[in-house]
Structures are given as structure tokens and as C-alpha cells.
């Protein structure tokens, strides 16, 4: 999950509703965050640039052209998210087009005669992907609300990185609890993980321009059973990483609030 494009183009399309589909994991090729190659001026780039890594999302720049042997014509228009991306502009992150998602899955070997994903499922997968990311951002905004109320500066998403297969400390702990106490905890591991770097606005005085502080968030993605209508359900565990005093305080405050009011109810993809 969490796949955005980091270019400057604006398609003018709004985020729409999401169709439901089942997914065994994030269909996007995640890359190591160690690369320091500079991003191109535009995205998508021409074929031949797939090995260039964009430092804003640690992903290869994939072209939007039709693949050899591709039977369907997939849309190439991208959707603008509700997630602001730059402290110096009013730009928003863009979601991949179905064709770009398809190209990423071809690169990962997910689409072939014996692959895991059919061509006609790609558009629905993009919609579910976008729906989940919008929900994740709303969770981030809930965490950031006390700070936003104080500073009156809306947070932004600076960059993110996929970490599939890298278990967070909490995911490890919950899995261990499931092994020791299977009647009380689930043994399920997340099918994907992302780390989002969020810019938290800070304002010293009302007349001064805001400053921004980087806050790392961890997102663990879990799949759930289908609901009564046969729709897949997902759970995303969103929280600030325990790498600062402020984040530790935020998590303790949320924990105490939930102890008093109870856990939030889960929801399914529409």
C-alpha cells in the first residue's frame, strides 16, 4: 500500500469511491531505501528508466506505456489524493494510474499466464489501494490533531518507504502474544508495512511562518475475513514510531483514551 507518484503534474481528478477486491499483499515493487539516485523532472519517465529510484517514495520510476502482450487498454489518468506533500506548495500526492500499477506488477512478476493477478482486476485494485491510503491519512490526522489544534498548521506527508517483510516491534509482539494466548490474540502477521515521514507544523508566533518537524509513522497492513456482503476487510495499525519523547507521549495518551472509551470499530472497503 501507500504508493504515490512524486511528480509535479496535476490531472485535476478527484479521489472517488473504491471498489472492493481481495489482495494477498501489496502489489507494488518495494525498493531498498539506501539508493540516493536523483529523481527525474517528470514522472512517469520513458521506458529504460525503471531502475532509477525516487527518494520521496523509494520506488522505481515506471513508464505508463502499454506492456508487450498486454490484452486490455488500462486507464492512464491518475487520481489526486487528499494528502498534501510539500511544505512550500499547495500540491498533493498522486495515486498511480491503473496502467502504472499494471507495469509495476509486471516488473514484480505478478502478471503473467500463471501470475497472481488478472488484467481486469487491476482497476479495482487501484481503487482499493487509494481507499486504504485515504483512510491511513485520516488516521494520521487523528494522531496529529492535538498538535494541529495548537499550531493551526496542517500536517503534510514528506515521503514514505515500503518495508515488506520487516516486522515492526509491535507486530512481533502481537504475533508472539497470539502464539502464547491464541484465544485472546491473533497470530496473523501484517501483509505489508510502510513508514511515513509526516511534517508536523509548529508556529512560534502567529505572525511567523510555520516550521515543520519530521515525525515517523509506522503503518502495518492486515487482511481480515470477508464481511457479511462478501467484501474484504482490512485493518491498518497506524501510529507514530517510538523514536521521540513526543511520540511516546502521544501513544501513551491514545492508549489511556482507548482504555477509557474502548477501541474503535473496524470497517471494510466499500
Res. 219 pLDDT band, cuts 50 70 90: very high
Rounded to an integer, what distance in angstroms lies between the CA atom of residue 206 and that of residue 226?
A: 49
Buried-exposed string 93-102: b where 16+ CB fall within 10 A, e elsewhere: bbbbbbbbbb
Q: Using one digit for the tens of pLDDT, what is the confidence trace for 149-178?
A: 999 999 999 999 989 889 999 999 998 998
Rounded to an integer, what distance in angstroms lies between the CA atom of residue 110 and that of residue 104?
A: 9
Highest averaged pLDDT of the listed ranges 10-14, 50-54, 261-265: 261-265
Q: What count of other Cβ atoms lies within 10 Å of the Cβ of residue 167?
A: 15
Is-contact 122 98, C-beta < 8 A?
A: yes
Is the pLDDT score of 4 beyond 60? no
Res. 190 pLDDT band, cuts 50 70 90: very high
SS (H, E, C) the chain: CCCCECCCCCCCCCCCCCCCCCCCCCCCCCCCCCCCCCCCCCCCCCCCCCCCEECCCCEECCCCCCCCCCCCCCCCCCCEEEEECCCCCCCEEECCCHHHHHHHHHHHCCCCCCCCCCHHHHHHHHHHHHHHHHHHHHHHHHHHHHHHHHHCCCCEEEEEEECCCCCCHHHHHHHHHHHHCCCCCCCCCCCEEEEEEEEEEECCCCCCCCEEEEEEEEEEEEEECCCCCCCCEEEEEEEECCCCHHHHHHHHHHHHHHHHHCCCCCCECC
Q: Which of 37-41, 81-85, 111-115, 169-173 has the lowest mean pLDDT?
A: 37-41
More confident residue, 31 or 152: 152
Structure-derived torsion over alpha carbons of residues 202, 135, 217, 158, reported in degrees to the nearest 10: -60
Is the pLDDT score of 211 beyond 70? yes
Which percentage of the chain shows pLDDT scores above 90? 37
Give the domain ranges of the chain: 142-261
pTM score: 0.73
Q: Using one digit for the tens of pLDDT, what is the confidence trace for 102-154?
A: 888 888 777 765 556 788 888 988 998 899 999 999 999 999 999 999 999 99
Rounded to an integer, what distance in angstroms lies between the CA atom of residue 112 and that of residue 118?
A: 8
Is-contact 216 246, C-beta < 8 A?
A: no
Q: Using one digit for the tens of pLDDT, what is the confidence trace for 226-269?
A: 878 777 788 899 999 999 999 999 999 998 988 887 655 544 44
Is-contact 196 162, C-beta < 8 A?
A: no
Amino acid at each position: 500500500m501507500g504508493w504515490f507518484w512524486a511528480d509535479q503534474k496535476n490531472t485535476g481528478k478527484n479521489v472517488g469511491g473504491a471498489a472492493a477486491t481481495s489482495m494477498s499483499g501489496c502489489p507494488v515493487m518495494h525498493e531498498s531505501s539506501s539508493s540516493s539516485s536523483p529523481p527525474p523532472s517528470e514522472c512517469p519517465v520513458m521506458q529504460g528508466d525503471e531502475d532509477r529510484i525516487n527518494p520521496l517514495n523509494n520506488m522505481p520510476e515506471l513508464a505508463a506505456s502499454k506492456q508487450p502482450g498486454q490484452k486490455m487498454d488500462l486507464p492512464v489518468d491518475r487520481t489526486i489524493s487528499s494528502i498534501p506533500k510539500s511544505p512550500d506548495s499547495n500540491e498533493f500526492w498522486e495515486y498511480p494510474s491503473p496502467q502504472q500499477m499494471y507495469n509495476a506488477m509486471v516488473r514484480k512478476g505478478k502478471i503473467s499466464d500463471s501470475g497472481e493477478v488478472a488484467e481486469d482486476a487491476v482497476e479495482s485494485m487501484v481503487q482499493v489501494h487509494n481507499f486504504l491510503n485515504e483512510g491511513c491519512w485520516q488516521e494520521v490526522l487523528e494522531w496529529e490533531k492535538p498538535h494541529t489544534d495548537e499550531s493551526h498548521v496542517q500536517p503534510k506527508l514528506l515521503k514514505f518507504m515500503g518495508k515488506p517483510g520487516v516486522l515492526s516491534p509491535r507486530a512481533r509482539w502481537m504475533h508472539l502474544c497470539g502464539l502464547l494466548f491464541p484465544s485472546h490474540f491473533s497470530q496473523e502477521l501484517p501483509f505489508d508495512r510502510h513508514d511515513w515521514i509526516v511534517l508536523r507544523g509548529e508556529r512560534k508566533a502567529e505572525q511567523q511562518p510555520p516550521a515543520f518537524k519530521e515525525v515517523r509513522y509506522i503503518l502495518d497492513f492486515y487482511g481480515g475475513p470477508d464481511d457479511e456482503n462478501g467484501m474484504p476487510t482490512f485493518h491498518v495499525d497506524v501510529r507514530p514510531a517510538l523514536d521521540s519523547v513526543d511520540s511516546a507521549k502521544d501513544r501513551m495518551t491514545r492508549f489511556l483514551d482507548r482504555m477509557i472509551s474502548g477501541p474503535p470499530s473496524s470497517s471494510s472497503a466499500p
